[in-house]
Chain A
Amino acid sequence: MNPALKPVLVVLGWAAFNAVLVLLMLVYGENALFIGMYGAAVGLALLVAGAVFLGRRDPAGQGRRTVAVASQSGLLFALAAVLAGAGLIFGYWLTGFAIIPLLAALARQRKEVLPRGAAPAATEVSTLHSQRPQGGDGGPVAKGVKAATATVVAAKAAGWWRRRRRSSRT
């Protein structure tokens, strides 16, 4: 294997091996309908390959991070989808209800996208060790120190991020 194996080749190679297996199926005389089904899956793999190929070529998409730390649109979209599906079982009035989370999701989804260049807020590390005393935000000095620390760390993170983005991924 070439050391500079391109990701798109991984997907393409995988699709190609599947394509060979589809062709072999022709020899063994499976029903055309179901050979076609397998063929369609190879088509899906090729679509993935195409997306990966374009994904690399799209300079705007390289390392751009635009999503906020907190996002509720996923939950709302899922709720809308499941409610809409439940409408098929329990009556279409439920499908009507699905519009509420759907609209809420769409509204939130727009807000959750950061403007280009904005450094994303980091999520808090989940740790079961409480390393600093809980409760009481401290006096104004403590707050100032915290704010300064946060700014420095954020600036570092942002700088690191920009450097990472500039250096193209191998």
Chain B
Amino acid sequence: MTSRLTATEPPGPQPTHEPPRSWLASTDHKRIAILTLGTALVLLFAMGGLALAMRTQLAQPDSDFVQNDTYNQLFTMHGSGMIYLVITPMALALGLYLVPLQVGSPTVAAPRTTMLGYWLYVLGAIAVLSGFLTAGGAAKEGWTAYTPLSSARFAPNVGTDLWILGNFASSLGMILIAGTVLWTVLLKRARGMTMLRVPVFSWAMVATNLMVLAAFPSLLIALGLLAVGRMSPDVFSSNVWNIGYQHLFWFYGHPVVYVMFFPFVGAVAEVLATFARRRFFGYKATVLSLLAFAALSMSVWGHHMFTTGQVADDYYSLTSIALLVPAGIEYFAMLGTIIGARLRFSVPMLFALAFIPQFLVGGLTGIMVATPVLDYQMQDSYFVVAHFHYTLAAGSLFGFFAGFYFWFPKATGIMLGKGLGHVHFWLMVVGINATFLPMFWLGMEGMPRRVASYLPTDGFGTLNFISTVGSWVLGVAMLAFAANLVVSIVRRRTRRAADNPWEAHTLEWATSSPPPPLNFDAAHPLPPITSFTPLLDLRRKHVKDREPT
């Protein structure tokens, strides 16, 4: 499938087919998305490594595997790195790859802006990580970088400056990518692809990108405020700036969790429907609930600030609990899709099925900590750490892998290995739950988060040890994943993927694997678009036509 056409394109730099330039200077949304995903995957391993160092330190009381100052850098870089530099880019890149294909567009809107977004992300990530090379070490104020702790008075290290700069750049990049993908789904759909024929995944990206555009600028302002505070630390001796920073930060900080969640819900929805051999159940209700969910998520940020005593508790707990309604509709739709169906338990389906109960644990404990009376107790404890890892690691990461195993054949033309896929999946289920489930009890017993050590008399030893063993299992699971990638690519000749290996329903499966430059061509034309599952319609029509009358 190597098309080498260089059509009439007289001026400008001639396209090159030689990597790396054909990749690094590409305006093809698929390449930009693969670059973004690849970068995020590399960083996922790096940030996971930092977490393993932390877990090793906490395996036993009074351990001195790492020093306190290093530990502070580890949790700051792990948390902020995973959120700003790994899961958010992964989530948006999945949309960048799939949305133009799913809506039948040959390109993403404004591809150069998208490319600019990618480069801002990469250079930002380099800036953040380069903090480790500076004398004072990397940033160490937590991923929230609360003031006045992060002002120049208390955090004079250059690493914190670089952290602010890098996260500003990469988040700006994410805004650009979100904008172009939103524009594509809203305004570049193929003929016949009405809004209510847009696949569930692409609708999830609509909601995601709306949140990015409305909420991420708030982070840029917050980081700008931090930068000002580092030039004149006296800013943060006044309450309004300190509490103002928290408002700005959490106005981004809550929606970003949904940015890191919706695309994977969309991926899980596509995977469930495909392997249940059914149309996704409750399409319209799901679309509406995704949009309502996204809007509600803009209004709940104060639930991270209950213990400041300076927010309208009732409002934020009301809106937080209201999140249960759209979440419930989505869960109902997911269950409605699989109940009673003849399921095929392939690797993507396993990840999608595990996503459902695991994310539920994260979601329901989220309602707990969004209840002021409980939050005053749980705040800053390991209960919170357990909660958000169930949403992001046990939830989003499983959704990501469901999507990864599902669409990898489309993007590369190679099937990932089944055996190693199963090893990866089962080790991950064991590892994730062994790591994060004990943290709920640690939190309730009073272990605070962000501490480098604890005393033998605290009684946290056993649960911490289980958690650490779980994290090592998780590490092995990720090695199995890496091995699967390498082995599959090396043995690509025997692992060719067909155009639609899973008998999936949406347009990206109508084109070749991998798709041609402009997504659809003479050999792979757009099929008639009759619903949000055009390929399923075609297959059913085919079956019907062949039935004897």
Binding site for B on A (CB under 8 A): 1, 3-8, 10-11, 13-14, 17-18, 21-22, 24-25, 28-31, 33-34, 37-38, 41-42, 44-45, 48, 52, 55-56, 63, 65, 67-75, 77-79, 81-82, 85-86, 88-89, 108-109, 111-115, 118-132, 146, 149-150, 153-154, 156-158, 160-161, 164, 167, 169-170
Contact = CB atoms under 8 A, between A and B. Distances in A.
14 contacts: A41-B214, A70-B16, A70-B21, A79-B119, A79-B123, A81-B120, A115-B11, A119-B8, A121-B14, A123-B31, A124-B22, A128-B414, A130-B2, A156-B522
B9 A7 contact: no
Contacts of A8: 186
A108 B190 contact: no
A21 B296 contact: yes
Contacts, number: 299
Contact of A121 (B5, B158, B190, B522): B5
Nearest to A79: B123
Interface residues of B, number: 113
Where chain A touches its partner, the secondary structure class is helix
Contact of A127 (B2, B28, B217): B2
A14 B6 contact: no
A33 B312 CA distance: 13
B444 interface: no
A149 B6 CA distance: 11
Interface stretch (B70-78, B192-200, B378-386, B540-548): B192-200
A37 B248 contact: yes
Contacts of A41: 214-215, 217-218, 251, 298
A139 B151 CA distance: 68
B13 A72 contact: yes
A8 B214 CA distance: 16
Nearest to B115: A74
Q: Which 4 A-B pairs have the closest CB atoms?
A: A74-B115, A78-B119, A122-B517, A154-B7
Contacts of A88: 161, 165, 227
B299 A38 contact: yes
A138 to B, nearest CB: 12
B5 A153 contact: yes
B17 A74 contact: no
B41 interface: no
Contacts of B15: 68-70, 121, 123-124
Nearest to B414: A128
A128 B492 contact: yes
Interface in B256-308: 284, 287-288, 291-292, 294-296, 298-299, 302
A78 B318 CA distance: 41
B111 interface: yes
Nearest to B489: A128
B26 interface: yes
B210 A71 contact: no
B332 to A, nearest CB: 18
Given A28-B315, A153-B522, 20 more contacts: A5-B196, A6-B195, A18-B295, A48-B182, A68-B13, A70-B16, A73-B116, A78-B173, A121-B9, A122-B518, A123-B517, A126-B23, A131-B1, A150-B4, A154-B5, A154-B6, A157-B5, A160-B522, A164-B191, A170-B193
